[in-house]
Structure 1
Amino acid sequence: MRTERNLTRLDRVFARLDREPERPAHIDVPRMSRHRVVLFTATLAFYLAIVWAVVITSWLVRLDWLVMFFRPYQQWSEIHWFVDYYVVLGQRGPTAVMVAAWLGWRSWRQHTLRPLLTLGASLLLLNITVGAAKLGMGRLGPHYATVIGSNEMGLGGDIFPSGHTANAVVTWGILAYLASTPRARRWLSAASAVTSLGVGLSTVYLGTHWLSDVLLGWAAGLLILLALPWCEPFIARAETWIFDLRDRWRAGRGRTVPVPVPVPASPVVLKPRSATAGDAPAPEREPVSQVRSPRTPIHLAPGPHTARSERTPVTPAGSRRPQHPERQPRGGTAQPARPLTGG
């Protein structure tokens, strides 16, 4: 009785590492549904409300100052070392490299550039929107505050909204956005939410951002994730253009020179040149045969074959061996010497 072998965990890992023969058909591209439009509108309203609350120096600014005076890094100093490492999950360089490595493997395995192009589009939107907001509002951070109770806006700072928080939301949320199954999307959404929440609170703990900076960073990152379906047509066009460019490059690199087809030569007859005074008429050439006659074999000059020991070495200056008139070659009778040159 034949039984199938149960697959171990290592077998399942290697099976997942194998490259799929073609792009999987079950991977769906998110679209801008009505539910997503409602979430985008609500998040945008929340974004604008936070900006307005900070501009008018409302209760949110007073809460920022209360948290700053509380100095969490002094109240819970025993976790300072952990927070210093954890906040790296919001830095753009390390997180982008880690996520790009994972999405690069997925792109290679699934024969599609959509994961990498989506990551690039999201980071581009992040740099444009968050960078413009930082430079436009120019808010100073807690360590550089000048007047107690003020909103510190328009003083040349670049911390509003929090770039660490927005980057954590986008970088880790893109994994949930590109998930292949609903179950994976739910788990990755929860994991990215917890990670970005921890990164934002870490910046507040370290005193590098106000609490309102973190709230605006969460809203900014979520807006980018919700707006990504609007970028899908451009991502598809970019993918098609890159693949077409690759195919043209491969075709140009593997191009071979066409081999000319041999055409049988037709017999050519040269007409005699018109005779002039003092010139003899040129004879008529015979037609060239289409099939060339085989070359006649080359035969050696006639003569007996002698052994190497009986041959006289020949140099340009003559023979170096003394003459022995009494020496007879092998074979009994003397044979006439072969001429060195023809004639």
Structure 2
Amino acid sequence: MRTDQILTRLERVFARLDREPERPAHLQTPQMSRHRVVLFGSTLAFYLAIVVAVLTTSWLVRLDWQIMFFRPYEQWPQLHAFLDYLVVLGQRGPTAVMVAAWLGWRSWRQHTLRPLITLGVALLLLNVTVGSVKLGLGRLGPHYATEIGSAELFAGGDIFPSGHTANAVVTWGILAYLASTGVTRRVLSVVSAVVSLSVGATTVYLGTHWVSDVLLGWSAGLLILLALPWFEPLIARTEAYVFDVRELLRRRAETGRMPAPVVSALTPLLSAGGKWRLEPAAAEAAAEPAPAVPAAVHTPAPRPTPLLTGRPHVIRSERTPVTPAGSRRPAHGERAAARSAAARPVAGG
């Protein structure tokens, strides 16, 4: 007869989650190599060149207006329905949820929090850098432009650089950044490049962004991906801190330290079959039987605190019943004689 315990699927999941975090040996953390530094510097120079070209209302701004007047969505209207769905791949909410779900599964499989923490750091950098430039330059989009040929800067807009484009570069490029093999990294790099290029071109087709917005969005997202190795020490420290906190909480749960009032309140639950774990001292106190009191022995009620007087104070029930023989006040005749004696002086010899 087979007596092995058959674990359910939920029990297997919890058993795997309870395992100690063990990073596979083939996973390597990207380093800030010389090649990456050169790419970062080149992308940063391209980024600054686009900003200067828009600030000076150069040929790039004229190109923006030419494509805006061309109205691609009117030239190829049959693509409009499809591209309306394609541009969702650049929205921050849906893409972050999809990528976080995939990286969460990888974190569970590889017993490491690095994929999720890296995604969080990348999105934080994206919000800070792109958001600050958007609000600082305040450029209006093509649908809200007011002056032909103008760069539409410092007008209260938030269109430059393109957030859809930068988000597509970061969220899909993070998959290639975290790839564990060279082949997977190359394939995911091509896929992320195609998605980010498609999202950027789609925003120009729909007329929601200028061409210069998309160019700056591509360079902004690429800068974040290239700078991630500088944040790897911070990611490692964050992961170690999270695991330390998790281990501390686990130890506290195992020791089951609870105050005495809580222990006394949970005693009925423990007697009813509960599985709470108590402190050793509290468990011994709860397990120790109470001393038996003989039935014939009468336990008197506690006496009240005595008053600070010359004689002890007793309660009414303990006083000796005394029946007075007569009235404590003297008779009327005696009281009259006493008053008359006090009123008349006594003659002395």
Q: Same fold (TM over 0.5)?
A: yes
- Aligned match of 2:280: 258
Give the 3-state SS of the residue equivalent to 2:173 in structure 1. Answer: helix
Q: How far has the Cα of 1:23 moved from its partner? A: 1.6
- In the other structure, the counterpart of 2:69 is 69
1:45 alignment counterpart? 45
Mapping of residues 198-237 of structure 1, within 5 Å:
198-237=198-237
What are the within-5 Å matches in structure 2 for residues 4-19 of structure 1? Answer: none
- Cα distance in 2 for partners of 1:44, 1:183 equals 28
User: Alpha-carbon deviation of 1:254?
Assistant: 0.7
Distance of 2:31 and 2:133 partners within structure 1: 27
How much has 1:22 moved relative to structure 2? 3.0
Partner of 1:111: 111
Q: Please report how far the alpha carbon of residue 258 of structure 1 lies from its aligned counterpart in structure 2 after TM superposition.
A: 2.9
Q: Per-residue displacement from partner, 1:134-155 (whole Å, max 9, x unpaired)? A: 0000000000000000110111
2:156 aligned residue: 156
For residues 277-292 of structure 1, the aligned pairs below 5 Å read none
Structure 2 CA distance, aligned partners of 1:230 and 1:238?
14
How big is the shift at 1:211?
Answer: 0.3
**1:139-198 deviation digits (Å, cap 9, x = unpaired):** 000000000001101111000000000000000000000000000000000000000000
Tell me the amino acid that sits aligned with residue 128 of structure 2: I
CA distance in 1, matches of 2:156, 2:44: 25
For residues 31-57 of structure 1, give each alpha carbon's deviation from its aligned partner in whole angstroms, at most 9, with x where no partner exists: 101100000000000000000000001
User: Is 1:27 paired with 2:49?
Assistant: no
Aligned equivalents of 1:55 and 1:146: distance in 2?
A: 17
Pairs aligned (count): 245
Supply the AA of the counterpart residue of 2:231. Answer: C
With normalisation by structure 1, the TM-score equals 0.70
Please name the residue that 2:138 is paired with: 138
- Mapped partners of 1:132, 1:31: distance in 2: 28
CA distance in 1, matches of 2:197, 2:51: 20
Matched with 1:80 is: 80
2:242 is aligned to 242
| CA distance in structure 2 between the aligned counterparts of 1:31 and 1:77, rounded to whole angstroms | 46
- For the residue of structure 1 that corresponds to 2:159, the secondary structure is coil
Measured in 2, the distance between the counterparts of 1:136 and 1:189 equals 31
Q: Please give the residue correspondences for 1:115-130 in structure 2 after superposition, counting only pairs within 5 Å.
A: 115-130=115-130
Query: How far apart, in 2, do the equivalents of 1:33 and 1:78 lie?
Result: 46
Give the superposed CA RMSD: 1.7
2:116 aligned partner, one-letter code: L
Look up the match of 1:326. Answer: none
Q: Distance in 1 between matches of 2:64 and 2:128?
A: 26
What secondary structure is seen at the aligned counterpart in 2 of 1:254?
Answer: helix
Supply the AA of the counterpart residue of 1:197. L
Which string of whole-angstrom CA distances, capped at 9 and with x for unpartnered residues, describes residues 106-140 of structure 1?
A: 00110000000000000000000000000000000
Letter paired with 2:118? T
Aligned letter for 2:251? A
Aligned to 1:174: 174
Which has the larger share of helix?
2
Q: TM-score, normalised by structure 2?
A: 0.68
Task: In structure 1, give the amino acid aligned to 2:105.
Answer: W
CA distance in structure 1 between the partners assigned to 2:116 and 2:161 by the alignment: 26
Match of 2:276 in 1: none
Q: Distance in 1 between matches of 2:110 and 2:188?
A: 20
CA distance in 2 between counterparts of 1:156 and 1:39 reads: 33
Instruction: Give the drift of 1:252.
Output: 0.1
Letter in structure 2 aligned against 1:258:
P
For structure 1, the 5+ residue unaligned runs are 1-17, 262-343
CA distance in 2, matches of 1:93, 1:231: 24
For 2:243 and 2:53, the matched residues in 1 are separated by 48
**For residue 232 of structure 1, what is the amino acid of its counterpart?**
E
Distance 1:56 1:188 in 2: 37
Q: Please give the alpha-carbon distance, in whole angstroms, between the structure 1 residues aligned to 2:109 and 2:249.
A: 22
Which of 49-58 and 18-27 deviates more? 18-27
Q: Distance in 2 between matches of 1:221 and 1:251?
A: 42
Shift of 1:71: 0.2
The Cα offsets for residues 297-322 of structure 1, whole Å up to 9 and x where unpaired, read as xxxxxxxxxxxxxxxxxxxxxxxxxx
Q: Give me the identity figure in percent.
A: 73
Counterpart-to-counterpart distance in 2, 1:22 and 1:92: 31
Alpha-carbon distance between aligned partners in 2 of 1:55 and 1:67, rounded to the nearest angstrom: 19
Q: Secondary structure at the match of 1:240?
A: helix
Mapped partners of 1:60, 1:22: distance in 2: 51
Q: Distance in 2 between matches of 1:22 and 1:122?
A: 24
Distance in 1, Cα, partners of 2:23 & 2:212:
43
Q: Secondary structure at the match of 2:255?
A: coil
